[in-house]
Amino acid sequence: MTALKEKLRLSDEMLGRPAPAGKPVRAGKSARPGRRPRRRGPNRFRQGLLLGICIGMTAALLVGVVGFLVTERRGVAPAAAENASAERHGQGDQRKEPQAAISIDSEHLGDLQVRIEAKVSAPGSYNPITKGQVVAYTDMVAMPMAHKSGPIVMAEVSGQPGVYQALSNVPMAGEYNVIVEVKQPMAATANQRLEVGTVQPKK
């Protein structure tokens, strides 16, 4: 009983009274050497915020990837359909509009003068095409487009149905590409190489 009273009795120091003589003063508890201070636990609010940001960024990335794939597939399909449609139309136009047959006979007359003659006929039957719209071009092979001449209107030769002829001068000697184009009544193009010299050709 006496021991219990001693424990419950307040110390003189806590009551502000001086300690009696001869009574040892109890020192406060000192921190144990080597003991680490207690760390606070992780902040739950911060963890939740970081987790929410990570989930949001992942979801946005997935939505973007899915949207890109869907958009790319939808974009490629119409383009392929348009190309297929264009090819079909092109094939249909070629079938509906047959090309005329052209036979070119050109020669150098001398002094850089060239005679261009073309026989134009219908495909399949090879019947001569009369009253057609026919033009010609000359282009130097060594310097394409630099000395191109044309369009040169070709006139139908009297008494020779389907034969068209024109005269033209070239700027210099060399090899030329002679191009004949039929515009009406059916479109067609043909070409022939012609060597133009500086001297009068032998007859």
Better pLDDT: 133 or 30: 133
pLDDT at 186: 86
Q: Which helix (H) or strand (E) holds 13?
A: helix 12-15
Q: How many other CB atoms sit within 10 Å of the CB of residue 154?
A: 24
Residue 136 token pair: 């010609």
C-alpha span between 117 and 107 (Å, rounded)? 9
Average pLDDT of the residues in 180-186: 90
pLDDT recorded at residue 51: 85
60-90 tens-digit pLDDT:
888 888 887 777 555 444 555 556 555 555 5
Check residue 13 and give left, alpha or beta (phi > 0: left; psi -120 to 50: alpha): alpha
Residue 5 reports pLDDT greater than 60: no
**For the CA atoms of 128, 102, 167, 169, what is the dihedral angle to 10 degrees?**
170
pLDDT band at 92 (very low <50, low <70, confident <90, very high): very low
Could you give the CA distance from residue 98 to residue 73 in angstroms, rounded to a whole number? Answer: 38
Give CA separation, 10 vs 1, 25, 29, 88, 167, in Å: 16, 13, 17, 108, 137
Q: Quick check: pTM over 0.85?
A: no
